[in-house]
A and B are shown apart, each in its own frame.
Chain A
Amino acid sequence: MSFWLKAVNLIVCVGLIFGYNAVINIRAQDENINELNAKVDSLQAQVDYDKKLVQSYNSSVNPDTENDTNSDLSGPSVYNNGEYEGTAKGYGGDITVKVTLENDTITDIQVVSAEKEDQAYLTVATSILERIKSANTADVDTVGGATFSSTGIKNAAIQALNKALI
């Protein structure tokens, strides 16, 4: 194949990927805006509803009745608070993950050591940390292309969470 044909082909491919990315990003932004708008609307509705509730409450109940509806929400019920470490086999060796728990919520999770993992693969695999944190569970999908390393991180996180169980 001639050089020029290949050059044009390459430029078209790279251009397509950039164009595609731009379109996807614009779409994601629009979606984000719509989502936020919807959130604002529902919050507004909630506020209106609460106002009404307060009004009806004020008018129907006499002021001296004490209200103690505040149920006990503080304190963990599934996991102990604190930092817990777990270790599991990744691609080339052991991966150690540290999970920080506060009131049953994963507030922080990071890879403490992963000496035998390939750098490129580990970097991709660490995106599973964000998934675990936002899902608040280690039961998440592994990262494509970096299955071994991300499975290692996942299993290490599961082990850490098991240690934290009350």
Chain B
Amino acid sequence: MEKKKLTPLQIRKIHKRVRAVIQIIFFLILPATFSSAFNGVKYIFTQIGSGSNVQLTSFVVDLLIVGIFTIIFGRFFCGFACAFGSFGDAVHAAYVFICKKLKKKPIKLNEKLCKVLTYLKYLVLLTIIILCFLGYYTNLRGTSPWDVFSMLRSGNFMLAGYAIGIVLLVLIVAGMAVCERFFCRFLCPMGAVFSLLASLPLTSITRKRESCIKGCKACKMNCPASLDIAERGSFDVNGDCFQCGRCVDFCPKKNIKTGGSPLRGSEVWFMIVRAVILAAVLLLGAYYIS
């Protein structure tokens, strides 16, 4: 490889493109993993609620794979492989693009409000779990925005009876346009599950606070979830980090790294390796169970 020094802007552009390509590939080959994994959660609680045993269905297999992957690599799935998250990124990118064309400033949500809203997803998760446990969930057909999204994605337009789901999806799309990863941060029940998983600190993003430029908030400003990055050596992995690696590239001091390792976390090869592992395991799992 030619040793030509790339400017930080060029590096960011390359990483952005690689991430977009990975997202598109996952959208095409594994578009239903997010809902099938969450179906695993719903299935487990439905079974327990009705007193039946929990079997290793293909939903549970997807849940296990995505869960274990998240424990090892953090929420890489959310940032790179979730079809709904990728769709949201596309909507947000379109909104930003339109704002630029119209020379209007994009709307920003209040930061304090956002912090409170992050707890909403746990409430969503809890509600769905309770409904499944009590056996009411099956009566709620037509209310899930994910169902509507998945139907539209697969070209199924028979949406009669899905009014509530459609309204919710429209609201979510509006939210995702204005605020990057709106759904993932505030509402996603699968994201709530991921946040509650004990992700290992090996591949989490950390910084050495003392070597930061005083008052610099470049990482937080560019983080899709406006996170404060953990201190190096800390075991407290932030459950809301999507592993997008943008903070790594924006840090003017190159102060952010993965875990305690020399790895930075936004390397192209590292993105590809994680994506390949995830895709391979998911495809193998589907093959094994069928």
A contact set with B: CB distance below 8 Å: 1-4, 6-7, 9-10, 17, 20-21, 24-25, 28, 91-92, 116, 118-124, 144-148
Contact = CB atoms under 8 A, between A and B. Distances in A.
Contacts of B51: 24
A140 B197 CA distance: 37
A92 B156 contact: yes
Interface in B266-290: 286, 289-290
A7 B54 CA distance: 22
18 contacts: A3-B199, A4-B198, A6-B199, A9-B196, A9-B198, A20-B48, A24-B52, A24-B53, A92-B155, A118-B31, A119-B286, A120-B33, A120-B36, A120-B286, A121-B58, A123-B57, A124-B57, A144-B46
B217 interface: no
Contacts of A25: 53
Interface in B195-247: 196-199, 201, 235-237, 239
A91 B154 contact: yes
Given A120-B286, A145-B59, A28 B53 contact: yes
B235 A2 contact: yes
Interface stretch (B11-19, B37-45, B88-96, B100-108): B37-45
A146 B235 CA distance: 39
Nearest to A147: B141
Contacts of A4: 198, 235
Contacts of B61: 120
Interface of B: 31-33, 36, 39, 42-44, 46, 48, 51-54, 57-59, 61-62, 137-138, 141, 151, 154-156, 196-199, 201, 235-237, 239, 286, 289-290
B197 A120 contact: no
Contacts of A9: 196, 198
Contacts of A121: 32, 36, 58
A65 B156 CA distance: 70
Given A1-B239, A121-B32, A147-B141, A6 B48 contact: no
B154 A10 contact: no
Contacts of A145: 39, 42-43, 46, 59
The 6 A-B pairs of least Cβ separation, nearest first, read A6-B198, A7-B198, A92-B154, A3-B235, A123-B58, A120-B58
A148 B43 CA distance: 16
Nearest to B138: A144
A3 B154 contact: no
Contacts of B57: 123-124
B54 A91 contact: no
A9 B71 CA distance: 13
B32 A118 contact: yes
Contacts of A24: 51-53
Q: In this complex, which of B53, B141, B290 has the most chain A Cβ atoms within 10 angstroms of its Cβ? A: B53
A25 B54 CA distance: 10
B130 to A, nearest CB: 16
Contacts of B196: 1, 6, 9-10
A124 B53 contact: no
B43 A123 contact: no
B54 A20 contact: yes
Contacts of B289: 120, 123
A9 B155 CA distance: 40
Given A120-B36, A123-B57, A123-B290, 16 more contacts: A1-B236, A3-B235, A3-B236, A3-B237, A17-B54, A20-B48, A21-B53, A24-B51, A91-B156, A92-B156, A121-B32, A122-B290, A123-B289, A145-B39, A145-B59, A146-B39
Contacts of B236: 1-3
B165 to A, nearest CB: 13
A85 to B, nearest CB: 21
Nearest to B234: A3
A82 B33 CA distance: 39
